[in-house]
Homo-oligomer: A and B are copies of this chain.
Amino acid sequence: MTMSNTGGRRKPPTIHDVAREAGVSRGTVSRVLNGGHYVSPAAAQAVDAAIRRTGYVVNRHARSLITGRSDSVGFLLTEPQERFFEDPNFNVLLRGCTQALAAHDIPLLMMLAGTDDERRRITRYITAGHVDGVLLVSSHSGDPVAEELRAAGVPLVACGKPIGLRSKVSYVAADDRDGARDMVRHLLALGRRRIGVVTGPLDTPGGVERLAGYREVLSEAGVEADERLIVSGDYTRAGGEAGAERLLAQAPGMDAVFVASDLMAQGVLTALHRAGRRVPEDVAVGGFDDSPAAVAASPELTTIRQPWDRISSEMVRVLLAQIGGEDPAAVILPTELVKRAST
């Protein structure tokens, strides 16, 4: 009964083959596979050896069919994908989540819900139980998908604090407000007093929180607030450029700018350069993110580093806990001021 090796794939060994090979029953093999409780050392060893000899790998479909779990997790990206897909942080996050899940032998399923059609398909897919939980990456949080999935009882962890949701949603986020405070304190320590800010979109938690941190520190320091020093941006390079121009027009005496993202900060640098302002001599510029854009800029950007590697591992940790039955949780992680040439 020889079988050709080329072309077709050979039928893989089953738990039954392993049991026969090890001289035990299916049940015993299954117990070894799932933690090894109530198995004699001799049996466990025989099974391990048989698994190695036969090259057995568990059939996840058969397992899932009976357990009801899929042992897989969705990585869901909603809404304006362009913004994310150009964001290098997205890559770090994706990689971190994939690796953290791999350590638990859980595959990550990529899901994009840009259009309404996709959103419906994916919601259906998820609520049908094809994944055990969802890692949600959404920009304008307050996402309807999150609400819907939570209502269906799907374990869910968002990246960044969701705002305006009624149901309780787990999330992991960097401490945006504290990062902003650090940056503005740094600018104050350099002797700057007319500090402008280009915020992120104010329907995002990052936009709101970073601005709040800015206001807090200035008010603590007794610097009078000046709304002309505050403009809002959209996290794009062009938005940063436009924001800086507006600031220069409204508040020519500005001696520093806190920009809510590195990409926007690049635009700010361009605009300042064009206006003949030297950085950092005339105007100090602080970014946020510590993205590759920060070191690509000239001068290199002082910025706030978000702990993306920890964010991803925490997201996975919280999600798995929730799948295991624990309650939703929020995790806020500290940021770090990275000093470079622009301040």
Contacts and interface: CB of A to CB of B under 8 A. Distances in A.
A99 B112 CA distance: 7
Contact of A62 (B7, B60, B65): B65
A107 interface: yes
Interface in A1-56: 6-9, 12
Given A65-B65, A95-B112, A118-B102, A124 B85 contact: no
* Oligomer copy total: 2
A102 B292 CA distance: 31
A16 B145 CA distance: 30
Contacts of A8: 153
A60 B102 CA distance: 22
B57 A124 contact: yes
Contact of A81 (B95, B110, B118, B152): B95
A78 to B, nearest CB: 13
A177 B85 CA distance: 28
A98 B81 CA distance: 12
Given A86-B292, A108-B110, A110-B94, A153 B57 contact: no
A129 B9 contact: yes
Which among A61, A85, A98, A129 has the highest number of chain B CB atoms within 10 Å?
A61
Contact of A102 (B62, B72, B112): B112
A59 interface: yes
A128 interface: yes
A176 to B, nearest CB: 23
Contacts of A102: 112, 118, 121
Complex A-B, nearest 8 residue pairs according to Cβ-Cβ distance, in ascending order: A57-B128, A61-B64, A85-B91, A61-B61, A61-B65, A108-B110, A9-B153, A107-B109
